[in-house]
Amino acid sequence: MIKFKNKSIRQKLFIITSISLFLSAFVIYLIVYAVLPSYYYKYKRNTIDSEIQTLIAKVRKEEFQNAKLYIDNFANRNNVSLSIHDNLGRIIYIPSSYITVIDKDTNTQFILVPGKYKNIENTFGFPQMNYSSGFYTSSQSIQFKDSAFPLILTVSAALQPIDEASKVILNLAPYILFIILGISSVGAYIYSRFIADPLIKVHKTAKKMAKLDFETICIVKSDDEIGELASSLNELSKNLKKTMDELENTNKQLKSDIEREREIESKRREFVATISHELKSPIAAAKGQIEGMINNIGVFKDREKYLRRSYSIINNMEKLVNEILYMSRIENYDFSPKLAEVNLSNLIKKIVGSEEYLSFSKKLTLEVDIQEGIIILADEKLILKALSNIINNAMKYSPEGEKIIINLKLIDNNANFSVINTGAQIDENDIKEIFKPFYRVEKSRNRSTGGSGLGLYIVKGILETHGVEYNLKSYDNKVEFTVKFHL
């Protein structure tokens, strides 16, 4: 029993089906062998009795000579022997057949041949005729239209053939059983393959699903319950794969968010430390000057002069704080720009106009080539701030008498904006760091010459918020800043 439990579904189906088919066929064979003789005897009796009644009814209306045709046909059709005799047992008529008779006195068996039965009867002088054993015999009263009194119709059907058939069935039993076993085995094999193969496919697919392999599809071409099970399994695999992909994407997004939060936290700490350093020096300077003026110490007795210096320091600190707050708003996790159509051509013209004083004071030559009517989708205030910082930086860090080239062109459905300032050079290492907060190319950290260090950091934040491509490069004693707006 344990070994049987460990067998595969195909082997189990084969064994059970083979045994079932073999036993069923064997039982049917035994039933046929046991029931066939008695069933045949009963069938033969009923058939002959029914035919006899039909014959008697037909010949009742016919003369004896005409009725012989019906009698002969009856004997041939039913393969029986018959005789018609009177009440004394004397034979009146026998069809064209042979009848076996027995003499009761001598127990002698004879074959009664048509045309010679009178001689035999006269010779032996027996008063009546009896049929031998192994026959079914039925005697009925029969009367013809021209007969003066009823006669006796005796019909005899041989039953030996069915006995012989039963013996043949018994003798053939080993061969029949061998054939039954072969047919059962072949049928069981086909049946087990037909039923088990789809189940095996479903099983293999389910095992792969258990290992989180959702690529395999279970192909079962049928509309029955197994086919529906395979379809349901495929649908389940598809849904699980979709869910797993969603979970994987969510997990990646979660990891990305965690990394981003860590990066933001790291930047925040770095930013706070840098701010502290940036604010510490001007606060100390302003505090020292004010303290000197309060106490009338040395040069600080000239309050008019040092009040103006203190005011300038505080004013620069205010600008720095405003830029810090500006960047804080842009870097807010929930921040999104207010997008609208912006006429980029007019916006750049406006910026150039506002910076004319600086270019004039440094005797810079402006070459401006702006294509008209270029419209982009952006937050106008933010883009104004970013482009102003770019143009202002170009003018601020260019030596006197140099050239500033500002271009805006529509190329391949992109608005390409560029600012080139001559007479300036930025080291490759500085370009990599220049977009970081409070980073200055001018190493003296003098605000009058180096700025706050937040200008390009703000530019970077605004452009990346809009998904805009930008690039800064230095070559041939020039610095070029390019921005590509996708239309």
Per-residue pLDDT at 468: 92
Which residue in 362, 432, 346, 366 sits closest to 397, CA to CA?
A: 362
Q: Is 5 left (phi over 0), alpha (psi -120 to 50) or beta?
A: alpha
Checking if the pLDDT of 386 tops 50, the result is: yes
Q: Which residues contact 178 (CB under 8 A, 6 or more apart)?
A: none
Q: Dump strand ranges (E) for 318-364.
A: 340-343
Distances (CA, A) of 418 to 31, 70, 461, 480: 104, 126, 18, 7
Across the chain, what does the average pLDDT equal? 78
Per-residue pLDDT at 117: 44
Q: What is the mean pLDDT of residues 148-170?
A: 77
Per-residue pLDDT at 478: 92
Checking if the pLDDT of 111 tops 70, the result is: no
Task: Give the Cα separation of 397 and 442 in Å (integer).
Answer: 10
Which residue in 374, 421, 386 sits closest to 400, CA to CA?
A: 421
Task: Give the Cα separation of 105 and 118 in Å (integer).
Answer: 18
Which residue in 83, 96, 80, 75 sits closest to 130, CA to CA?
A: 83
Checking if the pLDDT of 221 tops 80, the result is: no
Give 226-248 pLDDT, tens digit per residue. 677 777 777 777 777 788 888 88
Task: Give the Cα separation of 343 and 170 in Å (integer).
Answer: 108
Task: Give the Cα separation of 121 and 127 in Å (integer).
Answer: 8
Residue in the block written with tokens 């239309």: 487
Q: Which range has highest mean pLDDT (21-35, 79-93, 254-268, 301-315)?
A: 79-93
Beta bridge mates, 415: 410, 485
Give 171-185 pLDDT, tens digit per residue. 777 777 777 778 777
pLDDT band at 377 (very low <50, low <70, confident <90, very high): very high
* Percent above pLDDT 90 for the chain: 15
The dihedral built from the CA positions of residue 30, 32, 33 and 38, taken in this order, carries a sign that is positive
Task: Give the Cα separation of 197 and 193 in Å (integer).
Answer: 5
Task: Give the Cα separation of 205 and 198 in Å (integer).
Answer: 11
CB 89 within 8 A of CB 104: no
CB 144 within 8 A of CB 63: yes
Task: Give the Cα separation of 59 and 74 in Å (integer).
Answer: 11
Pick 4 or 475 by higher pLDDT.
475
Per-residue pLDDT at 402: 92
Residue 308 DSSP label: H
Pick 483 or 81 by higher pLDDT.
483
pLDDT band at 149 (very low <50, low <70, confident <90, very high): confident
Task: Give the Cα separation of 380 and 342 in Å (integer).
Answer: 6
Task: Give the Cα separation of 154 and 15 in Å (integer).
Answer: 57
Per-residue pLDDT at 378: 92
Lowest-confidence region among 12-21, 73-82, 414-423, 469-478: 12-21
Task: Give the Cα separation of 105 and 98 in Å (integer).
Answer: 22
Q: What is the mean pLDDT of residues 181-208?
A: 73
Give 49-78 pLDDT, tens digit per residue. 898 999 899 988 888 888 888 888 888 888
Which residue in 151, 135, 137 sits closest to 56, CA to CA?
A: 151
pTM for this predicted structure: 0.45
Give 388-423 pLDDT, tens digit per residue. 989 998 998 889 999 999 999 999 889 999 999 999
Lowest-confidence region among 143-152, 260-269, 372-381, 474-483: 260-269
Locate 429 and state its tokens: 């290492």
Per-residue pLDDT at 419: 95
What are the structural domains, with CATH classification, of the chain?
28-169 (3.30.450.20), 337-486 (3.30.565.10)
Q: What is the mean pLDDT of residues 244-270?
A: 82
pLDDT band at 369 (very low <50, low <70, confident <90, very high): very high
Per-residue pLDDT at 162: 65
Task: Give the Cα separation of 102 and 110 in Å (integer).
Answer: 6
Per-residue pLDDT at 114: 47
Pick 278 or 235 by higher pLDDT.
235
Locate 102 and state its tokens: 């027995």
pLDDT band at 34 (very low <50, low <70, confident <90, very high): confident
CB 136 within 8 A of CB 166: no
CB 425 within 8 A of CB 434: no
Residue 298 DSSP label: G
Residue in the block written with tokens 């004397």: 90
Checking if the pLDDT of 128 tops 50, the result is: no
Per-residue pLDDT at 484: 94
Q: What is the length of the chain?
A: 487
Q: Which range has highest mean pLDDT (117-121, 127-131, 177-181, 367-371)?
A: 367-371
Question: Torsion angle of alpha carbons 308, 312, 313, 315, nearest 10°?
Answer: 130
Task: Give the Cα separation of 405 and 422 in Å (integer).
Answer: 9
